[in-house]
Structure 1
Amino acid sequence: MKSKTIPAMLLATSMVSGAALATKTDDATDSNVRFNYEQIENVNIFYREVGSKNAPTILMLHGYAASSYMWRDVIDALSDDYHVIALDLPAFGFTESPAREDYEYTFANLANTVDKFIKQKGINSFAIAVHDYGAPIGWRLALKNPGKVTAIISQNGNAYEDGLADGWGPIKKYWQNPSTENRDALSDFPTPASIKWQYVEGVRDLTKVSPDGYTLEGLQVSKPGMADIQLDLLLDYKSNVEQYPQYQAYFRKYQPPLLAVWGKNDPFFSPEGAQAWKRDISNAEIHFFDTGHFALETHQSEIIPVIKDFLQRNLK
């Protein structure tokens, strides 16, 4: 046997062993994170799961440019007391996603896929933790399942026009006129350099920003066809803004316990977006941190205790 075939054999063996392990521990109730896939039509959703299925469920929805990896520290901190599922949305992370022509990359369709995931997993009630793109997907899920949502945690996940900061300027121009010229003007948005900028902008101490997150997402966005998918989603974000009044009506009617933990230097979602919740949910809990869009990358030691306290008081 030639030595160059050994790495391939080892890789194949590890993949088989990993798949067997994932299957074996799917019903586990300990605090060890399980990594698995769930086939939802033509999307193979990758997700991280931890905790007893008898405990309150928390569904974690990441944003751009991230994946379920962004929740890693929160998952670990909540593993003993909650059933936590953090998934990679279509076109993100390790989820195996169809080509652009085989799947409608809109927020409505992403929410439909996640809704089918929830039903297929047999989840009857859940809190949602959202960030960025994960927020409008979470709000759409809440509209579909208003009686199922037990609480909301938002880390820079917006629901009000008040929160749309100056960074949306060129994007709003694209919404108003989705011409080739305006699309091309945003061609640097789905690039590794732009992703890194989103991780470090507004951060006071750059030594706190691990390169893992922006490097992984930079590799993801560099895959063939991925830039166009991300520009499609950027254009469709307009539909979320148009639905803001529906989301706000949901907040007013159902009064879900809500916690906002916000990087106040976010170039896309300003503090006004978090403060706006007080108009609809008077008991909303709003906390600001001196950092940027990815607050959990730099202030996890401050934010996680706030999340744990909120959940202990609101999830029984």
Structure 2
Amino acid sequence: MILKSLRLSSLLFGLMAFANPAQAAIGDWVQETALGLEQHMASLERSSYRVDNHDIVVFSRHIDSPAPCIVMIHGFTARAAHWFRMAKSLPKDRCIIAMDLPGFGQSSFLPTAAYDPATQADRVSDLIKAMAPKNPQVDLIGNSMGGEISAQFALRHPEQTHSLALMNAAGVSSPTLSTLRKQIAAGKNGFFATTVDGWKRFYDITMIEPPFVPGFVLDAVAAEAIARVPRHEYIFKQLGGVMDTELGNIHTPTLIIWGDQDQLLDVSMVSVWQRIAGSKAYVYKDIGHMPQLERPKQSAALYQRFLAGELN
């Protein structure tokens, strides 16, 4: 199909020509249309499951596969769609489950619920059981907060865990403070920007090689993020713990992936995560906080080598 060969950047550039004063609405429509195309190209189907009083939106394929499902867990303020590009480059017959975590994306949020990583890990476990894939074990890959949730999953549900991949993962101490942590210490947290310009300044430090997105689409993304600041502040207060002393209790094959220019979670955290016995680490040069968006094909290839036991 012609559509399947289109690059996202080309689609967005073409649609940008139709911008008018109602740019926020158009930007949101362009974003969702482009993400819908990426979802289609990754052969993922949307569904929803009720878990722990939350409606969780899931994008999945081939849950009847005999191999463990690859469960992709996004970071703070992110969404399942941030995995679509990488998912497209994984084997077409491989089971994949990518979800909008409770409190994020299109999944529901309850203003009095718990959203700490351990609770979210339990919800992911219950979601997988509800989906009932043919293989009850899963290969977890998580980015940022999603990495911490994945590690908590491995600790709390080892019987379900086949392997663990931690991509720029939160959840351990940082020998060197990142740009973001220094800003937070000074009383400024870019996640909670209340202006479009402020949000864009924060966006600029999240990735070194971000995918092309027109400015009016970024404006729409910024507007949505700003509207969710109260929700994100509530959830952020439940984060921030460290798992340093628990890492020795993780006994599953583990891959650690990082970008050496990550300004949100410093690359020095790799050495802490390597306390997981037998873990393997790979650090990208000139990449920031989200390798699955900055280098999706390379990240998919590296991850496949790990799953195949081909990394030394």
How far does residue 77 in structure 1 lie from its aligned partner after superposition?
1.9
CA contact (8 A) 2:71 2:98 kept: yes
Give CA-to-partner distance per residue, 1:58-114, whole Å, 9 cap, x none. 11100023100110012222252421100001221111323x13x233333323322
Q: 1:205 to 1:146 in 2, by over 3 A?
A: closer
Which amino acid in structure 2 is aligned with residue 237 of structure 1? L
Q: 1:205 to 1:97 in 2, by over 3 A?
A: closer
Aligned equivalent of 2:129, options 105, 119, 122:
119
Which amino acid in structure 1 is aligned with residue 76 of structure 2? Y
What is aligned with 1:178?
none
Q: 1:211 to 1:235 in 2, by over 3 A?
A: farther
1 or 2, which has the higher helix percentage?
1
Sequence identity of aligned pairs in percent?
A: 19
Q: Distance in 2 between matches of 1:237 and 1:73?
A: 27
What is aligned with 2:249?
250
- Per the normalisation by structure 1, the TM-score is 0.72
Q: Distance in 2 between matches of 1:283 and 1:141?
A: 16
Aligned equivalent of 1:50, options 61, 74, 83:
61
Aligned equivalent of 2:287, options 291, 299, 310:
291
SS at match of 2:151: helix
Q: 1:202 to 1:74 in 2, by over 3 A?
A: closer
CA contact (8 A) 1:61 1:138 kept: yes
What is aligned with 1:269?
265
CA contact (8 A) 1:58 1:128 kept: yes
Q: Distance in 1 between matches of 2:190 and 2:259?
A: 26
Q: 1:205 to 1:166 in 2, by over 3 A?
A: closer
How far does residue 49 in structure 1 lie from its aligned partner after superposition?
0.1
- Per the normalisation by structure 2, the TM-score is 0.73
Q: What is the CA RMSD across the aligned residues, in angstroms?
A: 2.9
Aligned equivalent of 2:154, options 128, 142, 149:
142
How far does residue 127 in structure 1 lie from its aligned partner after superposition?
1.0
SS at match of 1:35: strand
SS at match of 2:192: coil
CA contact (8 A) 2:172 2:269 kept: yes
Q: 1:280 to 1:149 in 2, by over 3 A?
A: same
- In the TM superposition, what are the counterparts of 1:122-201 in structure 2 within 5 Å? 122-123=132-133, 124-162=136-174, 165-171=178-184, 186=189, 189-191=192-194, 193=197, 195-201=199-205
Q: Distance in 2 between matches of 1:195 and 1:132?
A: 19
Aligned equivalent of 1:95, options 103, 107, 110:
107
- The alignment of Structure 1 onto Structure 2 pairs a total of residues equal to 263
Which amino acid in structure 2 is aligned with residue 160 of structure 1? V
What is aligned with 2:222?
218
Which amino acid in structure 1 is aligned with residue 249 of structure 2? Y
CA contact (8 A) 2:206 2:264 kept: no
Q: Distance in 2 between matches of 1:37 and 1:107?
A: 21
Q: Distance in 1 between matches of 2:307 and 2:93?
A: 10
CA contact (8 A) 1:50 1:75 kept: no
Aligned equivalent of 1:236, options 228, 235, 238:
238
CA contact (8 A) 2:262 2:289 kept: yes
How far does residue 37 in structure 1 lie from its aligned partner after superposition?
0.6
Give CA-to-partner distance per residue, 1:15-46, whole Å, 9 cap, x none. xxxxxxxxxxxxxxxx7311111111321100
Which amino acid in structure 2 is aligned with residue 38 of structure 1? Y
How far does residue 209 in structure 1 lie from its aligned partner after superposition?
4.0
Which amino acid in structure 2 is aligned with residue 265 of structure 1? Q
SS at match of 2:115: coil
SS at match of 2:49: strand
Which amino acid in structure 2 is aligned with residue 56 of structure 1? P
CA contact (8 A) 2:264 2:289 kept: yes
What stretches of structure 2 of length at least 5 have no aligned partner? 1-41
CA contact (8 A) 1:198 1:293 kept: no
Q: Distance in 2 between matches of 1:215 and 1:307?
A: 33
